Chain A
Amino acid sequence: KAGVTQTPRYLIKTRGQQVTLSCSPISGHRSVSWYQQTPGQGLQFLFEYFSETQRNKGNFPGRFSGRQFSNSRSEMNVSTLELGDSALYLCASSLEASKFLTSTDTQYFGPGTRLTVL
């Protein structure tokens, strides 16, 4: 099976612009979570989508949004970019959250999209 894929791998934007990142989960996986990774804050949870619905959200401003399509592919959007948004954005997919009547199951990560805001 192919792993989680993310496009593009690298992006350079300027302050004030917006950006859309894409994530294709492992085939058959229905849950997609997004994370931001920075040297200072580490890996932080952005949001999780399941069956085209946002089920969980982290503590990020409303400039960060996402969506999921019927084929489980997901996109995240950041509007009005700030310098501090420079980070590695990672998505992770899992088979079906709560399948085992627990909160989540194994998340597999993509290679990430490296966003640089100038």
Chain B
Amino acid sequence: GESVGLHLPTLSVQEGDNSIINCAYSNSASDYFIWYKQESGKGPQFIIDIRSNMDKRQGQRVTVLLNKTVKHLSLQIAATQPGDSAVYFCAENPSLSNTGKLIFGQGTTLQVKP
């Protein structure tokens, strides 16, 4: 069935270290993937996205990697800061016909230790 899953529910890192959050998706027809960050009491905040014709995309301190062969997505955060503490969700659009629909993973909680 449709599902986007994350490998670890909680990730704890030291401030200044790099963080890697992983995500597996099941729909090989998915053409668009997004990472969101959600802080307590707020809506999901867009971090970075990638389309299926790419395998890597970089933003400010963040990099998303897409491996379509194994249906795996990862978010790398460089020099993690306390302000990065939040729940991170990967999301996919399952098909061309599913306009406006994103399927979300369960989320990984990132804890940054000072």
Q: Which residues of A contact B (CB under 8 A)?
A: 4, 31-33, 35, 42-45, 48-50, 55-56, 58, 90, 92, 94, 97-98, 102-112
Q: Given A33-B100, A42-B106, A103-B95: A109 and B43 within 8 A (CB)?
A: yes
Specify which of A42, A58, A90, A104 is in contact with B99 (CB 8 Å cutoff). A104
Jot down 26 A-B pairs with beta carbons below 8 A, ordered by A: A35-B102, A42-B106, A55-B100, A56-B100, A56-B101, A90-B44, A98-B99, A102-B31, A102-B32, A102-B96, A103-B31, A103-B32, A103-B96, A103-B98, A104-B93, A104-B98, A104-B100, A104-B102, A106-B34, A106-B46, A106-B49, A109-B43, A109-B44, A109-B45, A109-B46, A110-B43
The distance from the CB of A2 to the nearest CB of chain B, in whole angstroms, is 14
* Among all A-B residue pairs, the 10 with the closest Cβ atoms: A48-B100, A109-B43, A43-B104, A33-B100, A103-B93, A109-B44, A45-B101, A97-B99, A103-B96, A111-B43
Q: Which residues of B contact A (CB under 8 A)?
A: 31-32, 34, 36, 41-46, 49, 51, 89, 91, 93, 95-107
Q: Is the interface of A mostly helix, strand, loop or mixed?
A: strand
Q: Which A residues touch B95, using CB under 8 A?
A: 103
CA of A48 to CA of B45, assembled, Å: 19
The distance from the CB of A62 to the nearest CB of chain B, in whole angstroms, is 18
A-B contact count (CB 8 A): 84
Q: Which A residues touch B98, using CB under 8 A?
A: 56, 103-104
Do residues B101 and A104 form an inter-chain contact, with CB atoms below 8 A?
yes
Known: A56-B101, A98-B99, A103-B96. 18 other contacts (CB 8 A): A35-B104, A43-B44, A43-B102, A45-B101, A45-B102, A48-B99, A58-B101, A92-B44, A97-B99, A102-B31, A102-B93, A103-B98, A103-B99, A104-B93, A104-B100, A104-B101, A108-B46, A112-B42
